[in-house]
Structure 1
């Protein structure tokens, strides 16, 4: 038998799915919303007649008939040989979103949502149309919705503004507002801005994704590299250089034939001199921005990462953008040779997903780090690998070429 608490659980699930707010906004035909009972067998009715009567009384006591809101109880008549005609509950019915919302104490949220929706329909119909289908995304931000719409108005009037967010002079809207609202702002802006007013290919918020998508300036990351051949940039006194990522991506470095990439700062600083080469270091997953450099597609690119799950993850991500990337010191032989130098990779952050851009040799080493593998949780940091192994790998690599 379904209890009043079961009905509340049913109503809360409908609320959390957004059915109630969508129903109020769209006059959704899902209402009336029904919770159907299983039909009781004749013998069960006889055996539990007193219990059923108490149950019916409890359902009625909390129903719309008694309280003026909430659910209605539908009955169906059952002809029973011993008990005669009996009216037993067959359905619980919520006639409207308002009945359900009030029943679970959400009436104020419903009223506020509809007020915000009506205001949005007047100010920005495109955003309002999206709100009707996505009410649960809006709900946590209703107190700030007027500000969200003002940002939309600003970017409609000033697409791709080319300023820093801190320079945006809108009353009551500061940097903290953007820090907490980037995701919902991006949803709203995508609905109302013309396609040419934003970069559709920028989909995430990491690495200043909001700023890049909507044309704001941002404090972009730097790419640090060392020149490993004195014939590269011979007129410059600088051999250890840091430049904005966009500058690195836009401007090929004359004389460079090979770009080595290493995660670790110390390894980048200690990397040996190699003809026609530079080494880029210290980027981690920020390597994704490095891969935007078109000129790297015509260069040899060699990656040396930690032998841990994230090292292989970064390699796979990089190769997804630059398919010709090679790796060094990241196969099973290197794993076995340096197991005595290993530390434990945290199980909380360890990757176990499928990486589709690894070679067979790299994949074999990666899978040995999985749960159940013979090197489960192993982490061999680059800086712990003996320097002579790097020298040998570079010599071997040079001979292969």
Structure 2
């Protein structure tokens, strides 16, 4: 015997799975038709009260069904139990009736009305562009209608108004906080970008909202105080602005760990740069680095070698330090497992020693040795040797 609670649980699972399709594509009736497995004569005789309670529970549930919901009742004539009328099937005609049965009527009404409203908005704009969509509107709605339906009304209105404004003002070239929509700012847009961006792309045929992003900052320390502009030995600025500095350092140290950058001692003629992981791709935008001797020291892990390769692709004169097998094995006890999804493809721009260090990571069990784990005395000694081995720049 299936109880009303068990039926609700089963129908709820169906609703969670099928609701996006129902909201976007519609549903064939009936959407639910499930047998309730009423008790047999033997069960009625063995537990008369249990059978009566089961029937009563379904009578109570029947009173709260929507207009398209119904129970199919059947009369059973038994030799030893007489005639019994009991429910045999639950039939729910459409998604609205499903939502009523599982007490999610408001959720379904939001999903249905918001789907229709957003479809009109997106299709009316798409018709005016004549461009091929990044994703079909029906597909983008189906993939995201759960999140859309779960939004509170104020946030849904902001999503709709943000989409409408962006579609009317393509590539506006302003920061999110400048958008003239009450409640929409950079933090709001960041939180709701997984909805706004794909919905916009389906109508505008481009994934870019055309909004400005804050420029990434690169942090520098002038280990040689004589190089510091205006006496500022520690500063952060966009690559384009750092490029304006008139510098000819005798050496540049690129490190991955911020505290390593801050702890480095004074070294005449030397600049230290915090690479901040894959943000190292921005180093190529600093003009004076193209002629500077560069020494890279990153984490001894798969990503560290990928970043080293990225830096050398932009600055071919880059040398490395403590990115080798000997450093890894000397501090193997300080390492730990690398992330399981780390890319194992050998990076392109590595020297023979570096390729051997990369291979050692896998050979030692997928090891990862972070830069800050290496003892400071060992690190300073090897940095000193690395800087001394760099070719001297042309000072003319």
- What's the TM-score once normalised by structure 1's chain length? 0.64
Q: CA deviation at 1:102?
A: 0.8
For 2:123, the equivalent position in structure 1 comes to 125
Distance 1:188 1:156 in 2: 10
> For 1:380, which of 359, 370, 373 is the aligned residue?
373
Q: CA deviation at 1:263?
A: 1.4
Distance 1:148 1:92 in 2: 38
For 1:68, the equivalent position in structure 2 comes to 65
Q: CA deviation at 1:106?
A: 0.8
Contact preservation (8 Å) 1:319, 1:357: no
Report whether the alignment pairs 1:391 with 2:376: no
For 2:11, the equivalent position in structure 1 comes to 11
Q: CA deviation at 1:7?
A: 1.8
For 1:141, the equivalent position in structure 2 comes to 151
RMSD of equivalent CA atoms: 5.3
Contact preservation (8 Å) 1:33, 1:93: yes
Report whether the alignment pairs 1:361 with 2:341: no
Residue deviations 1:20-53, cap 9 Å, x none? 353144222385234567x89xxx9576454584
Q: CA deviation at 1:133?
A: 5.1
Residue deviations 1:364-387, cap 9 Å, x none? 3367576xx7x9999715756431
Report whether the alignment pairs 1:245 with 2:239: yes
> For 2:306, which of 303, 307, 316 is the aligned residue?
316
Runs (5+) with no aligned partner, structure 1: 201-212
Distance 1:379 1:62 in 2: 66
Residue deviations 1:144-172, cap 9 Å, x none? 33332322232223222222222223345
Distance 2:260 2:370 in 1: 23
Distance 2:342 2:77 in 1: 61
- What's the TM-score once normalised by structure 2's chain length? 0.65
Runs (5+) with no aligned partner, structure 2: 126-136, 347-354, 392-396
Q: CA deviation at 1:13?
A: 1.9
Contact preservation (8 Å) 2:65, 2:100: no
Pair 266,76 (structure 1): closer, same or farther in 2 beyond 3 Å: same
> For 1:304, which of 263, 272, 297 is the aligned residue?
297
For 1:23, the equivalent position in structure 2 comes to 22
Q: What number of residue pairs does the alignment pair up?
A: 358
Contact preservation (8 Å) 2:71, 2:87: yes
Q: CA deviation at 1:55?
A: 7.8
Contact preservation (8 Å) 1:287, 1:318: no
Q: Which has the higher contact order (CA 8 A, sep 6+)?
A: 2
Contact preservation (8 Å) 1:21, 1:110: no
**Superposed, which structure 2 residues align to 1:269-308 within 5 Å?**
269-270=264-265, 281-287=273-279, 289-290=281-282, 303-307=296-300
**Superposed, which structure 2 residues align to 1:95-134 within 5 Å?**
95-125=93-123, 129=138, 130-132=140-142, 134=144
For 2:132, the equivalent position in structure 1 comes to none
Contact preservation (8 Å) 1:22, 1:135: no
Contact preservation (8 Å) 1:164, 1:217: yes
Residue deviations 1:279-337, cap 9 Å, x none? 66323235254277599999997642245xxx543443664796788753144421343
Pair 264,67 (structure 1): closer, same or farther in 2 beyond 3 Å: closer
Report whether the alignment pairs 1:150 with 2:165: no
